[in-house]
Structure 1
């Protein structure tokens, strides 16, 4: 089947997570992605382990670098810069995550490359953007979670602020970058003009505070931590069953009535303290212990059967192995093995142009020679570049 982005060439100068996640999304949809890495070292996540796969690649690197080619180029060398400029002439998209001004000092900034390729989409991912008092600070996911307010609303009410279990600021920044690149490509298709995209982890973190940020802007009341509970919906949290944890998400009063019936406590529906969601929120300290006492009497499987029969949203609290090997994950083919490496599959399912895994993440510089030959370099030139430490 055809790939939606098969006609696109993406030059990936990013490292670690946000940028590589964005380019992986584009690669899964068919774009050709050339990952530019430092000779001898490469993307630092290549060494972030254990665990490591049998081919020596770290699990971290594997997570976001499939469907890519790797060329090792020394960006500090003039000849290396010339290689990148030549690639940028042909590229549709360039994505990078250096500190602001770094690539410009190498003659590889947007203003430099747009002269060579007016249609280039140039996306810069940084911690704090290209402007503002923090622009020159490096961006790290957990620091962004802290400064962007996420940690202040994560954790138990009487406990310390906590980070999330996955680098969500990085991942969502990668998604924003991919969406912005596609928007810029759509505009270019109409206008013929490329553009510059400035994506900041801090901005992204603030943007997806969503209803929590909105609640503060409406009320001027600082949001607080509710542990696994919900600030404005009750009951909406996990409960301990006899043999594990069960997540219950009662989203409206009709569901609450069915929930009470399933728990054999229909009288709760008529109790004015619990009859509406605002009332339940106001009296959560009374209602939640009542629910917890009932849920603790039976195992998870019993409650899943009863609550699902009552059309009450619920689910078991799975660990990662259980989630990845669940019947639903298998039915959706969400774990795939390519070139001997197991990976989580692309999430979107497109009917005509499906996202696919075509190749495992590349070894460092494995495609250097082939790409240089494609660009017109002769074998003796490539050998000279290797000897000079320009490429690896």
Structure 2
């Protein structure tokens, strides 16, 4: 059995952050039953361009593999009835909605505990379910600005810069998955469920980590650094080579000593470069010297010298190079699923690894594909299904 094969999650989710969190739980074996609102066409992620065809998109495949889909109109009494039957069988109800919406549609723990006292209601929202921003929609781009990330990113003097990836969304998904698993563990131990109120805002602020601690305790003002340099360790940044860029990092004194040996420049043995503190004090002079030196050879030549010497380093890859890197392939980080429209779909594997059993992946579900499965799970016979259909539980009937 997969590690989470005994966990059932009812997911009222869509687009990126929420589905990103639950897809890793599905990869670990959790049964994730995805509720899709039929009147709007289900998860908006199904329609994200440029690689989309009808209700199929490579975006949706990325975030929803291994899940099941049920088209269900929670605004109808019949749809609510099916949802409540599912809650009775579930370990968790998981959602990513605006902060005030879970209570409005009745999916918080106080609203569901009469159905299942041990159910865990994990709500990943933009700003949380309390506070002055609770009713605001939260998006990764906005959160990167609000939490100070964009102000910290980019070259000094340049415009505020967003990360190339939606890191608040993805980190928020992981935070929600951790909270859900902790809640389920406690509920199984104690027999009592709970709400898990997690948010993208909390995630983004929490990830300020040590710069926040430095500011709160010592008045430190974070600032952008040239060539993405580390704020305190010198050298630890990107350097231009003759044909691209490389990253070199001396996070320990022994790495600096190895770098000095590889570069074999008398100037680097000056006592003013001997320690972390003095290198930081004379950073402008040192980094100018290193910039000039690294620009004399192509990246591959430098890496061939630095890697065997044990100096932490690496190329600045584009996405294509990262995906074909020998280590990527050796770690089985590109996986395949079969899809009725796309055929063989390649995507990146979950980084979450548990045990020695190789993971198995299943394509994302078509919208409403698992009605039959859910009907069997809940013991609905054909007359019952027909009654629910006519009452609009699964959307309008033709």
Query: What are the superposed Cα offsets for residues 250-279 of structure 1, whole Å, 9 maximum, x if unpaired?
Result: 11222112112211214313331x221122
Of the three residues 360, 379, 386, the one matched with 1:376 is 379
Query: What are the superposed Cα offsets for residues 282-325 of structure 1, whole Å, 9 maximum, x if unpaired?
Result: 22221111101111111111111111122100001111111111
User: In 2 relative to 1, CA 190–390 (structure 1 residues): closer, same or farther, beyond 3 Å?
Assistant: closer
Deviates more, 1:196-205 or 1:245-254: 245-254
Instruction: Specify the alignment match of 1:48 in structure 2.
Output: 48
Instruction: Specify the alignment match of 2:142 in structure 1.
Output: 143
User: In 2 relative to 1, CA 380–189 (structure 1 residues): closer, same or farther, beyond 3 Å?
Assistant: closer
CA deviation after TM superposition for structure 1 residue 233, in Å: 1.0
CA deviation after TM superposition for structure 1 residue 5, in Å: 0.7
C-alpha RMSD of matched pairs (Å): 1.8
CA deviation after TM superposition for structure 1 residue 226, in Å: 1.1
CA deviation after TM superposition for structure 1 residue 190, in Å: 2.1
User: In 2 relative to 1, CA 108–196 (structure 1 residues): closer, same or farther, beyond 3 Å?
Assistant: closer
Instruction: Specify the alignment match of 1:98 in structure 2.
Output: 97
Contact 1:121–1:197 (8 Å) recurs in 2: yes
Q: Distance between the aligned counterparts of 1:73 and 1:279, measured in 2?
A: 64
CA deviation after TM superposition for structure 1 residue 108, in Å: 3.2
What is the SS of the residue equivalent to 2:22? helix
- Using the size of structure 1 for normalisation, the TM-score is 0.94
Q: Distance between the aligned counterparts of 2:235 and 2:56, measured in 1?
A: 44
Question: Is 1:363 matched up with 2:366?
Answer: yes
Instruction: Specify the alignment match of 1:324 in structure 2.
Output: 323
Q: Distance between the aligned counterparts of 1:178 and 1:127, measured in 2?
A: 15
Q: Distance between the aligned counterparts of 1:349 and 1:108, measured in 2?
A: 31
Query: What are the superposed Cα offsets for residues 185-212 of structure 1, whole Å, 9 maximum, x if unpaired?
Result: 2222321221110001111111111122
CA deviation after TM superposition for structure 1 residue 25, in Å: 1.3
Instruction: Specify the alignment match of 2:252 in structure 1.
Output: 252
Give runs of aligned pairs for residues 50-89 of structure 1, distance below 5 A.
50-52=50-52, 57-89=56-88
Q: Distance between the aligned counterparts of 2:69 and 2:215, measured in 1?
A: 45
Q: Distance between the aligned counterparts of 2:303 and 2:49, measured in 1?
A: 37
> Which consecutive unaligned segments of at least 5 residues does structure 1 have?
none
Instruction: Specify the alignment match of 2:353 in structure 1.
Output: 349
What is the SS of the residue equivalent to 2:248? strand
Contact 1:233–1:277 (8 Å) recurs in 2: yes
Query: What are the superposed Cα offsets for residues 16-71 of structure 1, whole Å, 9 maximum, x if unpaired?
Result: 12211111111111111100001151111111111237x96222212211110000
What is the SS of the residue equivalent to 1:119? coil
CA deviation after TM superposition for structure 1 residue 361, in Å: 0.7
Give runs of aligned pairs for residues 171-186 of structure 1, distance below 5 A.
171-186=170-185
- Using the size of structure 2 for normalisation, the TM-score is 0.93
